[in-house]
Chains A and B, each alone.
Chain A
Amino acid sequence: MRKNLNVIAAYSIMMVLILMVGIFQSWNIALSIFNLCLISAVMTMGANIQWGYAGLINFGIMGYTALGGLAAVLISVDPVQEAWRAGGFDILMSLWLIVVMVLVIRFVLKRFEKSKIRTYSIAAIIISGILLIRFSAEPGIEAIEAVDPAKTGFLGGFGLPIIFSWIVGALFAGGLAFIVGKVALGLRADYLAIATLLISEIVIAIIKHEDWLTRGVKNVIGLKRPAPYEVDLQTTDWFIKLVEKFNSGKLSIIENLADRQAALNQLVIEGSSVFVKLCYSGLFLVVVIILLILTQKALYSPWGRMMRAIRDNEEAANAMGKNVVKQHLLIFILGSAIVGIAGAMLVTQDGLFTPGSYRPMRYTFLIWVMVIVGGSGNNFGAILGGFVVWFLWIEAAPISLFLINFFTAGIPETNALKAHLIESVPYFRFLMMGLGLLFIMRYRPKGILPEKIEIK
């Protein structure tokens, strides 16, 4: 108990902070912060597995998040029959062509010795393959995008419950990580960082501009939900009764019956969105706890020890007969898959998929700040980092507004500098993140909750 005191203290403070938001601002805000904290926690766990366990740097988190979101769309949206009829065949043909191309390249790689001719012929196969695929897919893509472009214009998905997409998102992200890992993991740390960052940008570019897949920047809205809809809740008897019961004290003060009914209606509307958010919190909490148990088990298993050995001294681990390349690839896939789950969760919660919103600041660098601030190598630290940083990211604006008003209390409202500062309040969050990261890296380089390895 005693040695975990700092963990318990840190989490208690965090919970108190979120509760304070609930009491002083509103429960809706508090819960939406809490939900995104949970999603961030899943992302940081993924990044932490790669960076904290194995020392692999992955600046492509944005790409895997987006793939998770893509999975959410492909799983939950109903198939657009008309689009399938219009261009489904062409798309399937092109997919076949891609598979054939990969197989041919594999065959060439296996069959022939490494030589210049082989390299050039592979390049020729890839280029001609891409051109062939482009020409064969072109009519299909155009036909699909022409199907009611204001509403659909894409193939749609499988029409399954969106929860499944959390698994599929993990598979998508893991698949991409397999390809990226195969080609890029041999690079030096800072090259790997740049390569993964750029690959994630390529992924986003594809998702943004392939309209037949997920409507590109036209967004997909109104995804199915695993939780009830607010509108339905507001007309359900048991829910109204529940709200009435919770607020019986408040309601009984009001004498007038009509007023009481109006107040109740208001409470039901507020309560319904809180209830929906609570449903999400429950779902996300289950995911976080399952992942936490698994990652903790992994950390203290022989496998975890081996990963640390590889991280701390690659050559020695290699000499001991550990397959460093294979383990690196494995952990790269595992971490990315977890990030993929988080991406699917995020789209599930928002109910919409907006490829334009995937930006490296928010989905890559912020997650890294979370990992570093929380404590890399320590799962509790990573989760805490997700909570602390996301909380600050959201609450930075009110906090800095308060600080500006506090320090410029003597200056009149019309002062140009003060007005300018108040106008640029949203950007103080960047300042806070940057300074936070710099201070943590300087004075507590292992993070708030440093890695602690107990040998049992």
Chain B
Amino acid sequence: MDFINAIILLLNYIFIPALTYGSQLALGAIFVTLIYGILRFANFATGDMMSFGTMATILFTWYFQSLGVSLGVLPTALLAIPFGIIFMILYMLLIDKFVFKYYRYQKSPPVQFAMVSIGVMFVTQAVVRIVIGPADRRFFDGEKFIIKAREFKEITGLNEGLALKSTQVITIFVTIVLVSLLFWFLNRTKTGKSMKAYSDNEDLALLSGIDPKKIVLVTWVIAGILATIGGALYGLDKSFKPFTYFNNMLPIFAAAIVGGIGNPFGAFLGGYVIAFSEILLTYAYKKFFMYVLPESMEPSSLVQLLSTDYKFAVSFSILVIVLIYRPSGIFKGKVL
């Protein structure tokens, strides 16, 4: 019995939160990696673009709520996400047309692109804050829990409860569907394959008649979908605050690089690597050991490797170590 309790404890406090957080990071990381692989620059506006997409989703959610439209037990935001995506894609294409296109034709070095993306970051941040303000916003509605901790205890008769939030299930489900679709698209369709070819070798791709304009367009469309859904899921699960989104850029970068930048599958796994290591290293295992070990060996301290204050620092340290020892990432493999 104690053993099952211990397992439930880990599931409740480590596995499910990490899986959710990892999925949110993974979507962002694939976004970063796609831009890096095809447009060839590190996009420092990642976090703010995600917050822009989330902002659009929130505005539509409010609009639907004012109309009285809802999805019942599911959050209304799910209905608003497609509209948010359209706005996000339009915004990205606008930015691309007026900003990035020029440097692409100039064949500027990646550093210059990165600088330009900082300009875009400032502008996007301003737009988001002017439109919706810097405050913390929750836009979740519908049923909050699928299983409540107390109900779970009553049903199973265990000491430990397992709480399952609906946002967690939605996040994991949507991520699986979206990522499978994305990989199907990249590996099976002609456009996806031409994107791969373009990322592998630009000149050769041009020679074989691949239209770069189309590739760039499709990349931004996919990026818009990923950014909006990733951002909206994070906002649903936690809350929406422009500043947090800007900060989230850093673990997202970490996930993309740990997975091998330019490699979407690596980025996908990288998101989970970062999320799990953050949570595993900062969780206090005292209760777990109380269940597993006999009473005489119970630990007196919290058995916490690092204090939770260092959550972000964990992922950054992992990234720095990976950058130094294996700059091409853990999951090397083929680019894109």
Contacts and interface: CB of A to CB of B under 8 A. Distances in A.
Q: Do A and B come from one complex?
A: yes
B310 to A, nearest CB: 6
B121 A424 contact: no
A441 B122 contact: no
B323 A187 contact: yes
Contacts of A372: 115
B3 to A, nearest CB: 27
Nearest to B242: A427
Contact of B123 (A187, A361, A421, A434): A434
Contacts of B253: 194, 198
Contacts of B110: 189-190
B309 to A, nearest CB: 4
Contacts of A190: 41-42, 110-111, 114
B250 A201 contact: yes
Contact of A209 (B42, B102, B133, B310): B310
B127 A431 contact: yes
Interface string A234-264: 0000000000000000000000000000000
B257 A191 contact: yes
B122 A184 contact: no
Contacts, number: 118
A84 B317 CA distance: 31
A198 B309 contact: no
Nearest to B254: A198
Contacts of A201: 250, 312-313, 316
A205 B309 contact: yes
A433 interface: yes
A437 B124 CA distance: 13
B109 interface: yes
B323 A191 contact: yes
Question: How many residues of A sit at the interface, in one of the four size bands?
Answer: 35 or more
Interface in A408-442: 421, 423-424, 427-431, 433-435, 437-438, 441-442
Contacts of A184: 320, 323-324
A352 interface: no
A368 B125 CA distance: 17
A195 B309 contact: no
Given A438-B99, A438-B123, A368 B115 contact: yes
Given A201-B312, A434-B120, A194 B257 contact: yes
B270 to A, nearest CB: 13
A198 B130 contact: no
17 contacts: A57-B114, A184-B320, A188-B327, A190-B42, A195-B323, A198-B253, A202-B317, A202-B320, A205-B313, A361-B125, A421-B130, A424-B130, A427-B125, A427-B130, A434-B126, A438-B120, A441-B112
The 6 closest A-B CB pairs, nearest first, are A434-B122, A434-B123, A431-B126, A430-B126, A427-B129, A437-B119
Given A189-B110, A435-B119, 9 more contacts: A190-B110, A201-B316, A202-B316, A209-B310, A424-B133, A430-B129, A434-B122, A434-B126, A437-B119
